[in-house]
Amino acid sequence: MANSAPVVTIGNHSLLYNQWQKMQPWLTYADSDGNPAQKFQFWDGGSAANSAYFWTSTNDHWAANTTIEVAASDLSDVWVRAGAVGGTETLWVRAFDGTDWGNWTSFTLTTIPNTVPVVTVPDVQLHTNTWTQAKNWLTYSDANGDAATKYQFWDSGTSATSAYFWTSTNDHWAANTTIEVAAADLADVWIKGGSTTGAETFWVRAFDGTDWSNWDSFTLTSVNTPPVVTAGDHSIHIDQWVTVDNWLTKTDANGDAITKYQFWDSGTAATSAYFWTPDNSHWAANTTIDVSAADLANVWIHGGSTTGSETMWVRGFDGTEWSNWDTFTVTSTPNTVPVATINDQSLHVNQWVKPQGWLTATDAEGDTITKYQFWDAGAGATSAYFWTPDNSHWAANTTIDVSASDLANVWIKGGSTTGSETMWVRAFDGTAWSNWDSFTLTSTNTAPTATINDHTLNAAQWAQLVNWTTASDADGDAITQYQLWDGGGAATSAYFWTPDNSHWASSTVIDVSASDLANVWVRGGTTAGTDSMFVRAFDGTSWSTWDSFTVTSLANHAPDASISNQTLHVNEWSQVGNLVSYADADANPAAAYQFWDGGGNADSGYFWTSANSHWPASTVIDVNAADLDDIWMRGGATTGSETMYVRAYDGIDWSAWHAFTLSTIV
């Protein structure tokens, strides 16, 4: 059967100039035998240099009147580009099904011509010396949807103070110069407002890659709102100084900073108020006084030397324009001196206080107190005194200057002893001092109290004095020391003991620091009786009155010592310490013992000590209680009995002799 050639159909199409289009979507392929296309051929009949043309991956601009063959599998790589100018041309296409080529199919491609873009800027205002990006004002449009590729600007303002263009390549473009900027760099184009007010014409146009737009002109007006500076009317004291900065109110609708000020004084009298600056201590009237804003704090007005009023003027400059002059009236008035008072005060000795809490200062005109002076008339070495951070002890009869802001740092210390003295204070209101006000400062102290109740001790009994002592101080002062006194003069009376004196003589002042009171002891007398003793305390300033107390010493009870009858073998030894029984009603320990041997035979029992290996009979043998274990008793050399004796001493009295029988057995 014969093959049927394939058929390719395509309609006529229009494209914008230079627009690209894939051919594949435009083509319709048909084959009655159902054979797929194997390849395609294209033909361009437009031979003009700016006409449309085909593009493939193997040739990016196919010449006109050339057969362009493409495998069907590469059809998606075939593009057509519209002409660079408006117009029409005929293009052709056919397909091959592997056996036959189809007929050529023609279609007309119309290139729509370019429409120039439009760029506009409305008339605008810019604050003097203010920067803005030109792109913020531009409106760009293109009927073909083409993006701008570059811009041109033009500035017709030739004045040295007019606005101008800035780019990253030129920070001040001269007027009447074409300024060309790539669209990608449009954000780098800035306009600065003129340094003075005024209007000028600027121009702009855009390029869409093919054509420039028309130039668009716009008017740029550099504007400024003058600042407003005002000063209210004021009254100041005669010869008073004030800084004018505190009187001024400054505003600027554009937010401009005031860069300088001018002042004018219309008061021509020799006694009138006047301006002062660091470079002129007395500005003449009717003179323009220029002051930079940075130096405004250094402009002062001095009140007139007599009462009266005068007109002064002020205006401010915002870097572009001066404000209107503002008038204000300065009235010089008499000054009423302030009043400073401190009432009479009492302080505890060595107490610290701020006199600020005592001080009352007033001013009839409401003037602020700026400083104070203090004076201390107490010249005694122990009197009260003033303290400030720069002097820890102000000498008496010295003027002490203190700024009002430092008043809280002034202290008074009470005298180190009781007494009174006169101090003084006065205040300064910036113009005049108040009268001196005197006040009496009394340094006070309440003496402490120390008491000891009456006590009873056994004979020679020890007691710790701290357990008996009560001390108090109404001012809360710590007790620093005590004094003791023993009024008992008998040799056997009670007495005081301290670590540095084991028996204080009576009628002697005994000084004891408070920290050592626990080391003071009282010993009861060795015979019955009473003793008057005394105590007083010191709080660092004053002694308390002496407090008397009675120590009653009870009579001593002699101790009891005994040894039961003993039996020993011939020549047998026995340690006597194990045999002695001791008792004392007053609980006094034994201090010593005495022994006596009543057997006079040469072969009878006897006592032995380390000091004597055979004590003879009928001899008093003295033994300290601590050495009781050092005495031994030996049985006789022959059998028999004898009487021996023992007694004890409690430090005061001896017990009665106690007899016991020593029997010697075989």
Contact in structure between 285 and 267 (CB atoms under 8 Å): yes
- 624-652 pLDDT, tens per residue? 999 999 999 999 999 999 999 999 999 99
- 223-263 pLDDT, tens per residue? 999 999 999 999 999 988 999 999 999 999 999 999 999 99
pLDDT-based confidence at residue 51 (cuts at 50, 70, 90) = very high
- 591-628 pLDDT, tens per residue? 999 999 999 899 999 999 999 999 999 999 999 999 99
- The pLDDT > 90 percentage for the chain reads 94
What is the rounded distance in angstroms from the CA atom of residue 193 to the CA atom of residue 197?
9
DSSP state string for 144-186: T-PPP-EEEEEE---STTS-EEEBTTBSSPPSS--EEEEGGGG
Angle at 450 between CA 448 and CA 454, to 5 degrees: 160
Q: How many residues does the chain have?
A: 666
pLDDT-based confidence at residue 158 (cuts at 50, 70, 90) = very high
pLDDT-based confidence at residue 5 (cuts at 50, 70, 90) = very high
- Predicted local confidence at residue 431, as pLDDT: 83
- 504-562 pLDDT, tens per residue? 999 999 999 999 999 999 999 999 999 999 999 999 999 999 999 999 999 999 999 99
- 388-433 pLDDT, tens per residue? 999 999 999 999 999 999 999 999 999 999 999 999 999 999 888 9
- Predicted local confidence at residue 274, as pLDDT: 98
The mean pLDDT value for 142-169 works out to 95
pLDDT-based confidence at residue 11 (cuts at 50, 70, 90) = very high
The mean pLDDT value for 494-500 works out to 97
For the beta carbon of residue 41, count every other beta carbon within 10 angstroms: 17
E-strand stretches of 45-86? 53-55, 68-71, 79-81
pLDDT-based confidence at residue 1 (cuts at 50, 70, 90) = confident
The mean pLDDT value for 212-217 works out to 96
What is the rounded distance in angstroms from the CA atom of residue 589 to the CA atom of residue 300?
97
pLDDT of residue 457 exceeding 90? yes
Q: Is 338 exposed, middle or buried (0-12, 13-18, 19+ CB in 10 A)?
A: buried
What is the rounded distance in angstroms from the CA atom of residue 488 to the CA atom of residue 260?
96
- The pLDDT > 70 percentage for the chain reads 100
DSSP state string for 587-651: -PPP-EEEEEE---STTS-EEEBTTBSSPPSS--EEEEGGGGGG-EEE--SSSEEEEEEEEEE-S
Look at residues 313, 193, 189, 335 and name the one whose alpha carbon lies nearest to residue 263: 313
- 303-315 pLDDT, tens per residue? 999 999 999 999 9
Predicted model pTM: 0.51
What is the rounded distance in angstroms from the CA atom of residue 160 to the CA atom of residue 167?
18
- Predicted local confidence at residue 504, as pLDDT: 97
- Predicted local confidence at residue 366, as pLDDT: 87
- 335-390 pLDDT, tens per residue? 899 999 999 999 999 999 999 999 999 999 888 999 999 999 999 999 999 999 99
What pairing do the DSSP bridges indicate for beta strands 260-265 and 289-292?
Answer: antiparallel
What is the rounded distance in angstroms from the CA atom of residue 92 to the CA atom of residue 110?
14
